[in-house]
Amino acid sequence: MQPQLKSKVRCADREVGEVTKVIMDPLSHDVSHLVVSMNGSGERQVSIGAVQTVTEDLVQLRSSSSEVIALPPFKREDYVTLHEVEIPGLERHIHVESGEVLVPLPELERNVKRRTFFANLTYVTGLFIGLPLVYPVLKFLMNPMYASLDNRWLKVGNVAKVKAEDVGTQFQYKRRVKEAYMPESEIEKNVWVVKATPSVLEKVYQGKDMEFRDSAGKPIWTNKKDVPFLAFSGKCPHLGCGFKWRNHKVLGPVFLCPCHLSIYDASGKVLDGPAPRSLDLMPIQVSSSGEVQIIDMEFKAGTKSQTRIV
């Protein structure tokens, strides 16, 4: 039985409040957390793993009331309601009464918030008002906007991490970025590496090596059609969310994007969902000692053709 909104919540020692929201996992379609209103002391997000039993109007937790009170306050801004984001098929798994059913805010939209758009806009407006005075400084600061794309190789890990063929393995790496007038910062990124069987390689390369060129059209690298390692950019070509390697009930192991449920096979080909193109391949090389290097590339999301932006 799924926990119901408005059900009372009891800890091991006493009643602490009632369920005000239910959070669903967009991938498994199961309830992942409850949001409990603590009798006037704010809301706490309680993992479904802490639930012992559920009856029609009571959720019994294993934890004590002091453990629940000690949880960090619930952050409503990290979630959206099912009215704001469409997760196909999720309704079939929801049996809670009508009320606020939430899913995590897609990663892309979180990033936009974090960029504190309006704060930056204020700085830019100020700069433009004083443009005649600050032109030399502005020119210097804006220079990175026109810098050519970075085609340096980045080490992301060792290929020993890849345990099986035609399976997505995530490698994380850090990269220093300088966006226009913002100070340089370090961001975490990820790339999915697949050790591909010949049939998957054939699907990807269709018998031809893949050449990558810089913005001036000069060749920078060629992925050879018979080298079994593929590197896919960690951003979904639909709207740029991070996707995962998951076992789909019908399709088996696939890349699945939780934001709007685009599904890709191990070759990056779209099997389902709104994605306009296959996953984006990046230049990859693997040394004799197994060190994996990539050239970090990002492409414009939402378009059928590939346009490199990073």
Nearer to ligand FES, 258 or 283 (CB): 258
Query: Using CA of residue 86, residue 87, residue 93, residue 99, what is the dihedral sign?
Result: negative
Nearer to ligand FES, 205 or 232 (CB): 232
Q: Which residues lie near ligand FES (CB under 6 A)? A: 236, 238-241, 257, 259-260, 262, 273-275
**Rounded CA separation 220/152 (Å):** 10
Nearer to ligand FES, 246 or 260 (CB): 260
In the complex, minimum distance from the CB of residue 233 to ligand FES, in angstroms, rounded to a whole number: 12
Closest CA to 228 of 191, 267, 189, 265: 267
Joined together, the tokens standing for residue 54 give 């559920």
**Rounded CA separation 181/131 (Å):** 14
Nearer to ligand FES, 159 or 301 (CB): 301
- Sequence length of the chain is 310
Closest CA to 80 of 104, 100, 109: 104
In the complex, minimum distance from the CB of residue 190 to ligand FES, in angstroms, rounded to a whole number: 14
Joined together, the tokens standing for residue 276 give 């306009």
In the complex, minimum distance from the CB of residue 241 to ligand FES, in angstroms, rounded to a whole number: 4
Compute how many other C-beta atoms are within 10 angstroms of the C-beta atom of residue 47.
13
Nearer to ligand FES, 21 or 238 (CB): 238
Nearer to ligand FES, 74 or 255 (CB): 255
In the complex, minimum distance from the CB of residue 235 to ligand FES, in angstroms, rounded to a whole number: 8
In the chain, what is the greatest distance between 2 CA atoms, to the nearest angstrom?
Answer: 70
Joined together, the tokens standing for residue 192 give 């999915």
DSSP 264: E
Nearer to ligand FES, 33 or 260 (CB): 260
In the complex, minimum distance from the CB of residue 71 to ligand FES, in angstroms, rounded to a whole number: 30
The region that residue 40 occupies, defined by phi over 0 for left and psi between -120 and 50 for alpha, beta otherwise, is left
Determine how β-strand 15-24 pairs with β-strand 100-104: parallel
In the complex, minimum distance from the CB of residue 137 to ligand FES, in angstroms, rounded to a whole number: 38
In the complex, minimum distance from the CB of residue 240 to ligand FES, in angstroms, rounded to a whole number: 6
In the complex, minimum distance from the CB of residue 203 to ligand FES, in angstroms, rounded to a whole number: 20
Is-contact 219 211, C-beta < 8 A? yes
Residues with Cβ within 8 Å of residue 130, at least 6 apart in sequence: none
Nearer to ligand FES, 67 or 109 (CB): 109
Is-contact 94 24, C-beta < 8 A? yes
